[in-house]
Structure 1
Amino acid sequence: MTTHTSPVQALVVVDVQKAFTGGDCALPDAARLVDRTAGLIARARSAGALVVHVQNDGDPGAPDEPGTPGWELHHPVGSGPAEVVVRKTHDDAFQDTALGDLLTSAGVKSLAVCGLMSEMCVQATARTAVALAYRVVLPHDAHATYDIPAEPGISPVVRAAAVSRVAAWPLSRDADVTARAADVTFTAPPHSGP
């Protein structure tokens, strides 16, 4: 794991929506996730970095179904061209969205990815960012997921912390996986906004 990284030009906050940060569907470590992502957002805003809030459009009846209270973003979206919302329907926030175009138009070459779920949307988004040749920073304490239930004949319960660690492991060859969100620093991209 990397303990210090050079500043990144964008922050991609994946699916930090109210369904997963409170209530019956809250992640086991939702309070930590909210605290770490709030800190990242505040530092990115202060530095003039691009902040992209990714909002998942869940299926009908899902906790994050569009238009329901659970679908709403947990963190308020700031005003101005350097903070945007990208809605998605796939795990990968680049797939069928404007995310790539937004990053390109702002001149972004480096970004941090945080949010949920570690092994699904966070990993898929970070993997695509790496494949697109962005320098990617993944702060380990700023992504989270659920426990994986026990499956007879396969495994006992796999705790959420272990799932998050395993999700980040294959990215560590090509991305900077940092232990702490507090170690991630930001700078403004070359262009003022997308």
Structure 2
Amino acid sequence: MSSHTSPFHALIVVDVQRAFVRGDGALPEAGRLVDRTGDLIARARAAGALVVHVQNDGPVGSDDEPHSPGWELHHPVEAGAAEVAIRKTHDDAFQETSLEELLTASGVRSLAVCGLMSEMCVQATARTAVALGYRVVLPYDAHATYDIPAEPGISAAVPAGTVSRVAAWPLSRDADVTARAADVTFNAPARATS
């Protein structure tokens, strides 16, 4: 795990949608996740950093099917140029979305990634951000996932915390992986001019 002192210009909040953080289908660590992501959002807003809420469009019949109750974002999006919601249909929030263009237009060169699921959309988005040359931090206590059930002949059940740790591990070579979201700081990006 790394420590860092330089503030980040943007916060990418991946798929923190009602289906995954409320009710019977909630992640095991949903309470912690919404607390940490909510704190990151509040501090990024206060610093003038760009806040991007990523919203997954699941297939018909899924818990996150567009316009279903579970599809709705848990954290409200504040209107304004420094906070937006982007919809996606792939794990990677950069794939077939306007995320890269938005970050470039906003002058963002560093970002924090949080949300769910650790081993899927969070990892894919953070990995692409690194590949695109962004300085990236992944606060360990601000991403989460589900337990992986046992599979006979393959493995016993894998607890969600272990899955999250394994998902973050390969990113630690190229990104900061910090233990606490509270240690991540923000400032406003130098907005790009047209």
- Normalised by the length of structure 2, the TM-score is 0.98
| Corresponding residue number in structure 1 for 2:175 | 175
**How far has the Cα of 1:118 moved from its partner?**
0.1
CA contact (8 A) 2:113 2:139 kept: yes
1:85 and 2:100 correspond: no
Kindly report which structure 2 residues correspond to 1:116-131, keeping only aligned pairs within 5 A, or say none: 116-131=116-131
1:76 and 2:76 correspond: yes
Instruction: State the one-letter code of the partner of 1:171.
Output: L
SS in 2 for 1:127: helix
**How far has the Cα of 1:79 moved from its partner?**
1.4
1:48 and 2:83 correspond: no
CA contact (8 A) 2:94 2:100 kept: yes
Runs of 5+ unmatched residues, structure 2: none
| Corresponding residue number in structure 1 for 2:137 | 137
How many positions carry a matched residue from both structures?
194
What is the root-mean-square deviation of aligned Cα atoms in Å? 1.3
Instruction: State the one-letter code of the partner of 1:149.
Output: P
CA contact (8 A) 2:107 2:192 kept: no
CA contact (8 A) 1:81 1:193 kept: no
**How far has the Cα of 1:78 moved from its partner?**
0.8
1:193 & 1:143 partners in 2: Cα distance?
A: 33
- After TM superposition, the runs of 4+ consecutive aligned structure 1 residues lying more than 4 A away are none
SS in 1 for 2:80: coil
Per-residue CA distance 1:67-107 (angstroms, 9 max, x = gap)? 10000000000111000000000000000000000000001
Identity in percent:
77
Instruction: State the one-letter code of the partner of 1:151.
Output: E
- Normalised by the length of structure 1, the TM-score is 0.98
Per-residue CA distance 1:13-60 (angstroms, 9 max, x = gap)? 000000001112100000000000000000000000000000000000
SS in 1 for 2:112: strand
| Corresponding residue number in structure 1 for 2:150 | 150
1:103 & 1:72 partners in 2: Cα distance?
A: 23
| Corresponding residue number in structure 2 for 1:164 | 164
Instruction: State the one-letter code of the partner of 2:124.
Output: A
Instruction: State the one-letter code of the partner of 1:178.
Output: T
1:84 & 1:61 partners in 2: Cα distance?
A: 26
| Corresponding residue number in structure 2 for 1:25 | 25
**How far has the Cα of 1:193 moved from its partner?**
10
CA contact (8 A) 2:113 2:122 kept: yes
